[in-house]
Structure 1
Amino acid sequence: MPAIYYHPEAYSIKGPKLMGRNAAGESFLRGFLKYSKSNEFWVQIEKSEHADDFRKKVLASARTEAVRTVNRSSLPALSKAGVLFYPGPDIGSQALHRNLHGSGLWSLCGITHTTSSQRAMDSIVHLITAPVQPWDALICTSQTVKNNVEHILQAQINYLRDRLGITKFIAPQLPIIPLGIHTTDFNFSKDDRGFSRKKLEIDNETLVVLYMGRLSFHAKAHPIAMYRALERATKKTKKKVVLIECGWHANISIEKIYKETSSKICPSVRIINLDGREANQRKIAWSSADIFCSLSDNIQETFGIVPIEAMAAGIPVVVSDWDGYKDTVRNGIDGFRSPTYMPQSGLGTDLAFRHSAGIDNYDMYCGLTCSLIAVDIEATANSFEQLFLSKNLRLKMGTAGRQRAQEVYEWKVIIEKYENLWEELDALRNKKSQKIKPMKFPWPARMDPFHAFASYPTHTISSNIFVDKVDQNIKSSLKTALELRNSKMVNFAEYVLPKEEEILLILNEIEKGSKSVKDIVENTPEKRKPYLIRSLGWLIKMGLLKVIN
């Protein structure tokens, strides 16, 4: 079973800047620890305290299996786990680290979150030149994001063909596995509903539409289409409607803009703001709602988990026909998907240029792009009207959505898909990795410094040069060597310094006079020979040995 690349930030919603990937990571880890069939847990960590944090989460999940840890200095141990799951798309960098030890030792599995940032796009492009293998995978959370990843990969392939004439390309698998949820988290009782509505001063005749998530018009979902559609539907049906915006604004200025805009565009709708970062506020929002709405129109969105949460709560949804919503929400069954419109290919090269040149930061890039993407307001208003006028339709769609959430998106189902994929990758690697020949330069940008800078010295310490002692007294030489070895000016390099017994071995080998490097290390275990040869450089540096020309 896999090793999890574990950094607490990637699996927590308690950080200062809560993003979708944090929520997805926390939910995944909770599901993995609850449903995984692993008989032990493996984690790759950067700091020892990260392993302690993971162990606490394992215990909190009532799992008693052992936790095995791997760090950068023990990467080959990942071969025992078989697969490394990395919580992002950058498995290319992980492949380079693996390549130093052998690309057939373990498989790599990443996952898409947003694919619109420079970092994410660079990570995807890198997959074409990085030493990834067919037994690696980048999980795409929706068909639309898979299409996007394929567009990026194909563009890089075309670029390399045009520039270098390259014809052979190896890419990872791109399986589609959606994000999951814990459906029981969204079971709310009639008492919950009554309590929440009373707290918000909402009567039983009022219809509550809920938006849940970050309140960001430039980077999440521009709200004007929702406001306009709600105003039209409210006026036409003459229903009392409340919109709950349960989320958070990046700053007070944005919060003010939301309030000013909504009051102008949908004055007929009462708007309540709740803090979506607080669990009790989210519970109040979910249990009060009759209809959920999310009109995502932003390229930073790749999946969108919140409509599935609404479905799990038995709430019909009105969403945009955009990105992952195309996969998750069945139009006319779980709710309605409103058509979206975007400029055709070729009309956004200036936006890409401005982003790449640093003229626009990522937020502005997303904001400029989404400003030209439209959600059909009339279709959205019609969807609201149907749901406002029919309690039976709301109940029917809510029931269908809840069943779909439980059968398709419950973490128990999703974790099984993950583990099946990991088993397939492991089996493919075991079957085909023997055909892979070691590369002379497994990571060209991280070469052996004694190779990369071979032209710098006058001579290199190779097997055919001869060395001799400077002080013919071995005891005196050893004493001096150990004193120098313990010097603060020297012992910072502890990792490369020869051990006391190795220093003595070298001195004894040349007791009777100079010897070639080859002869000095002849009786040394094969694994230690390279280290002993380079240790001669330190002994020469310290003035204990000299080269005989």
Structure 2
Amino acid sequence: MAGTKRIWGTLDPFFEGGPVLGRTVANVGFLDALLKADPFDEYHFFLPGGQALAPLRQHLERTAPRMLEGERTRLMLRDALPDRLRDTAYHCFHLSDCITSQPYLARMRNRLSERIFPVTGPIHSLSYAGYPKAFLQHLWPGTTRRDAIVCTSTAGRRAVEGYFGQLRAGFGLDETTHPGPRLECIPLAVDADAYAPGEGEEGGPTRVLVFGRISHHSKMDLVPLVRALHRLVTDGLDPHGVELVLAGWAEQETHVLDTLSHLAANAGIPMSVVLRPDEARKRELFRQADVFVSIADNPQETFGITLVEAGAFGLPVVASDYDGYRDIVVHGETGWLVPTMGPAETPDVDLAAPLNFDSHYHLALAQATAVDIPALAEALGRLIRDPELRAAMGAAGRDRVRRLFHWPAVIGQYAALWDELWKEPAEADPLRGLVHPLVPEYGRIFGHYPTRTLDDSVKLTVGRTGEAFYRNRDFPNLYAGLKGAIDLDVVRRLAFFARSPVDSATLIRKVSDVAPDLNVTQIKNHILWALKQDILQTTE
């Protein structure tokens, strides 16, 4: 085992391209903040392929070049993971999402690693119909108290508890035998130092900014916001004293934006739309704004990173009293939380959701969740009419972000969690042979497909290609995907040892003597591959 180094590992790049979504912003923010804080001696990334490895390397060369020096940050392919787990003493592994590989990594750790190190992963969106299966992965006896799901909000934690409760009840699982990982609350964050409040324009209209996905089926319906502003106009607000700015990613179809534009025009309220702004334009929009609004009504939302960004820019926030928003906004201090109302039961959606597109059932759920429009109008009206109140709430919001949602503070919480998890008891021996019921055991399930299976009684001898191979007169074809699994030097020894007929048990012993780093399964795989390449052949 490697000495006493503190080594952090992951299976994910954290950095990824594509649309600027809350999850992608949060993941790259975490990565950059972790490497900047640098609480570990080494950082090991095990990536699924070159398509993930190359962009991550380029990102690190731009943002943290010193971390690539001296191999403190190592970028490897997943094929290297088993051997690394056998010979490296990891302090922890952290994934970018808890619903992908966390339980299966724990299974490999249990089987191969000398130490039962913590495995953690955060939540993001939780409301997809296929997610019960993803959370069922966690409920197996191989989960330890050193494993944790990091919930980014108290509302998200309750949702995960709801999943585990439903699964245990439905499948008759006892919490003592199927414990599931610990649930810990650590929020998402921003680099508050990178954001600074704008100065605003004297005498100009009050700019109300909405930033994020402009989607009625996966984020929020903005019609209530326009209705609330229209209500203020009918109550005497000068429509030219306010400007509504919608910015972010919109769907390909434009009918939603057309609807919002028509409603704003009917109210006489100026409205502008900025689609897909880059980082520089995004900062400009926040600095030019006076009030930030987000009225999420969709369970697809779990935290609300844009609210934290708004606070960092010193903006007061008007938000729906929904999901993780209530962890971020302090009602009456950093902004206003607008009451919402939704259904206690959703039998029709529950029945149909697994058979429909995600957008279909998310829309159905969102349209059954109402934001209190009179309360929304009142909150907006108070901020639009009172610049001193805006300034006070914005300053309080920025102070709160710096204390609770600034990446250095949040990375400190993660580092403390990874250390704290080591204090939990975890016995390695009872975990070694545990299989995961959601992982197919291919040999057992498909072992009847071939004519026979390799057992100790199989008699082997060198094949014609094998005779040429160990004399360097022929060279077998080794596909790129097998270069980490098949050692041609071992195959050459197989051919040499099988010059005279030999049973597979004896052949395995001989190879084990000269290649002690290979286990029996790995040697058998070499034998089978050699049979496939005519390096070995059966004598029966």
TM-score computed with the length of structure 2 as normaliser: 0.85
The equivalences for 1:434-449 within 5 A come to 434-439=428-433, 441=435, 445-447=439-441, 449=443
Tell me how far apart the structure 1 counterparts of residues 283 and 481 of structure 2 sit (CA, whole Å): 55
Give the equivalent residue in structure 1 for 2:311.
311
Tell me how far apart the structure 2 counterparts of residues 492 and 208 of structure 1 sit (CA, whole Å): 55
Q: For residues 75 and 385 of structure 1, do their structure 2 counterparts lie closer, same or farther at Cα, with a shift above 3 Å needed?
A: same
Is 1:486 matched up with 2:475?
A: yes
Q: Secondary structure at the residue paired with 1:2?
A: strand
Tell me how far apart the structure 2 counterparts of residues 132 and 453 of structure 1 sit (CA, whole Å): 27
Tell me how far apart the structure 2 counterparts of residues 32 and 391 of structure 1 sit (CA, whole Å): 38
Tell me how far apart the structure 2 counterparts of residues 468 and 206 of structure 1 sit (CA, whole Å): 86
Tell me how far apart the structure 2 counterparts of residues 466 and 343 of structure 1 sit (CA, whole Å): 65
Tell me how far apart the structure 2 counterparts of residues 34 and 480 of structure 1 sit (CA, whole Å): 51
Give the equivalent residue in structure 1 for 2:91.
82
Tell me how far apart the structure 1 counterparts of residues 127 and 288 of structure 2 sit (CA, whole Å): 34
Q: For residues 84 and 210 of structure 1, do their structure 2 counterparts lie closer, same or farther at Cα, with a shift above 3 Å needed?
A: same
Q: Shift in Å at residue 329 of structure 1?
A: 0.4
Give the equivalent residue in structure 2 for 1:185.
194
Larger Rg: 1
Q: Shift in Å at residue 476 of structure 1?
A: 10
Q: Secondary structure at the residue paired with 2:112?
A: coil
TM-score computed with the length of structure 1 as normaliser: 0.83
Tell me how far apart the structure 2 counterparts of residues 438 and 339 of structure 1 sit (CA, whole Å): 50
Give the equivalent residue in structure 1 for 2:228.
229
Q: Secondary structure at the residue paired with 2:281?
A: helix
Give the equivalent residue in structure 2 for 1:168.
177
Tell me how far apart the structure 2 counterparts of residues 506 and 309 of structure 1 sit (CA, whole Å): 67
Tell me how far apart the structure 2 counterparts of residues 174 and 318 of structure 1 sit (CA, whole Å): 29
Q: For residues 440 and 117 of structure 1, do their structure 2 counterparts lie closer, same or farther at Cα, with a shift above 3 Å needed?
A: closer
Deviations 1:418-476 (A, max 9, x none): 11112223453xx5233534226456744362x5455566765433x3747589xxx99
Give the equivalent residue in structure 2 for 1:340.
340
Aligned residue among 525, 528, 541 for 2:512: 525
Q: Shift in Å at residue 539 of structure 1?
A: 6.7
The equivalences for 1:107-256 within 5 A come to 107-129=118-140, 131-161=142-172, 168-190=177-199, 193-194=200-201, 204-236=203-235, 238-239=237-238, 240-251=241-252, 252-256=254-258
Q: Shift in Å at residue 341 of structure 1?
A: 0.3
Q: For residues 144 and 305 of structure 1, do their structure 2 counterparts lie closer, same or farther at Cα, with a shift above 3 Å needed?
A: same
Give the equivalent residue in structure 2 for 1:47.
49
Percent identity for Structure 1 against Structure 2: 23
| 146-155 or 304-313, larger mean C-alpha shift | 304-313
Tell me how far apart the structure 2 counterparts of residues 328 and 213 of structure 1 sit (CA, whole Å): 16
Deviations 1:384-415 (A, max 9, x none): 22223322221211111111011111101111
What one-letter code is carried by the residue in structure 2 that aligns with 1:107?
A: P
What one-letter code is carried by the residue in structure 1 that aligns with 2:98?
A: P
> Do 1:209 and 1:289's aligned partners in 2 also have CA atoms closer than 8 Å?
yes
Deviations 1:100-149 (A, max 9, x none): 53595433211111101134443223221484322111111100010011
Tell me how far apart the structure 1 counterparts of residues 470 and 365 of structure 2 sit (CA, whole Å): 66
What one-letter code is carried by the residue in structure 2 that aligns with 1:231?
A: H
Give the equivalent residue in structure 1 for 2:410.
414
Q: Shift in Å at residue 416 of structure 1?
A: 0.7
Aligned residues: 514
> Do 1:146 and 1:174's aligned partners in 2 also have CA atoms closer than 8 Å?
yes
What one-letter code is carried by the residue in structure 2 that aligns with 1:375?
A: V
Tell me how far apart the structure 2 counterparts of residues 210 and 535 of structure 1 sit (CA, whole Å): 62
> Do 2:340 and 2:372's aligned partners in 1 also have CA atoms closer than 8 Å?
yes
Q: Secondary structure at the residue paired with 1:94?
A: helix
What one-letter code is carried by the residue in structure 2 that aligns with 1:432?
A: A
What one-letter code is carried by the residue in structure 1 that aligns with 2:149?
A: L
Q: Shift in Å at residue 81 of structure 1?
A: 3.0
Q: Secondary structure at the residue paired with 2:428?
A: helix
> Do 2:249 and 2:276's aligned partners in 1 also have CA atoms closer than 8 Å?
yes
Give the equivalent residue in structure 2 for 1:275.
275
Stretches of structure 1 lacking an aligned partner (at least 5 in a row)? 195-202
What one-letter code is carried by the residue in structure 1 that aligns with 2:188?
A: L
Tell me how far apart the structure 2 counterparts of residues 30 and 540 of structure 1 sit (CA, whole Å): 48
Stretches of structure 2 lacking an aligned partner (at least 5 in a row)? 1-6
Aligned residue among 491, 501, 510 for 1:499: 491
Tell me how far apart the structure 2 counterparts of residues 394 and 299 of structure 1 sit (CA, whole Å): 29
Tell me how far apart the structure 2 counterparts of residues 377 and 403 of structure 1 sit (CA, whole Å): 29
